[in-house]
Structure 1
Amino acid sequence: MEFAADVFPGGPSDPSVLTQYADHVAGSVWTGEERLELKLSSHGKKVHSLGRSVPAIEGLVIGTRLSPLIACSVDTGDQGLLSSFVERWHRETSSFHLPVGDVMITLDDVSSLLHLPMVGDLHVFQPLHMDDAVQMLVDLLMVSAEAARAETGQCRGLYVRLQWVRDIYKRRCHAGHWTAASREYLLHLLGCTLFANKSATNVHVVFLEALRDLRYVVHGISYTT
């Protein structure tokens, strides 16, 4: 891509594609400004602390074909490597702009690295209203409406804490409510891996929709990058 100093110092000559370049970390690199230190959030310890699913739900978890995610977390302390990739990633194109050209993460990469099947149609999660999120937590995780509202209120949005999910998972296992326990285990697993976010503590309630019918989970989740 060509750069023109009269358009934006160090930026693209055509701003119609990389519309958010002015706020990109590359701008700070170009001008020599101090940058905030990168924070690596890894949920590997959270996944390992919960461990493998209890025997009673192991069949359901394996049946979704998501169990390879249990062992997919990788910890790395190479700040230089992380910085290099962050500086070359552009959200608008979902690709890395490298000296050799643009590099994009494909579904084949996801399948090869995470050992997940890429089958079925891509699923788009529909936006949730708070009342819908609360009802979903009540119906699928067997919590009270009061508990659901208290948790989403504490998270200030359509999120629940991973610790909260771990706690109710253990309670459902103790009570023998295996379907709900399976959903809680898988929601925690997805929140720590495929759908991890910058909060490092929360998972979005919307992903529960994909766990409504566990027989079709592998067809209902969109493994997009």
Structure 2
Amino acid sequence: VNHAALTALVDRWRPETHSFHLPCGEMTMTLEDMAMISSLPINGQAVTGRVSVVNWRERTGNLIGVQPDGPQEGKADTARVRHSWLKLVR
């Protein structure tokens, strides 16, 4: 990990536009960028469906074989999946 490059990118991130503001212009993440970073395929059937707040972790586990951890003690349970919990098995 290049800590200097990572720090420079963090300093240039603008949450209002969800993009990096660089001297050469504005840059944002694309679907292809995420596919390269996560090694997840972007072709084929979409992993989607009706998900209720009650069972979204279980549904995620059924669809992609990995289930996110439950909420931490004393913290609110949010209905969103963080990319950090997803670890790929090759």
- Taking structure 1 as the reference length, what is the TM-score of the superposition? 0.25
Compare CA radii of gyration and give the structure with the larger one: 1
Q: Which residue of structure 2 aligns with residue 40 of structure 1?
A: none
**Higher helix proportion (structure 1 or 2):** 1
Gaps spanning 5+ residues in structure 2: where?
A: 59-69
Deviation at residue 158 of structure 1 after TM alignment? 0.8
Alignment coverage as a number of residue pairs = 72
Measure the CA separation in 1 of the matches of 2:19 and 2:33: 13
Structure-1 separation of matches of 2:12 and 2:50: 28
TM-score (norm 2): 0.53
Q: Which residue of 2 aligns with 1:86?
A: 10
TM-superposed deviation, 1:107? 0.6
Instruction: Please provide the CA RMSD for this pair.
Output: 3.9
Q: Offset of 1:86 from its aligned partner? A: 0.8
What's the CA shift for 1:112? 2.9
1:24-35 matches, within 5 Å, as: none
Give structure 1 stretches of 5+ with no counterpart.
1-75, 141-150, 160-186, 195-225
1:192 to 64, 68, 85: 85
Q: Percent identity?
A: 24
| Aligned match of 1:96 | 20
* Deviation of 1:157 (Å): 1.4
Distance 2:74 2:40 in 1: 30
* Matched residue, 2:30: 106
When residues 112 and 156 of structure 1 are mapped into structure 2, their CA distance, relative to the original with a 3 A threshold, is: closer
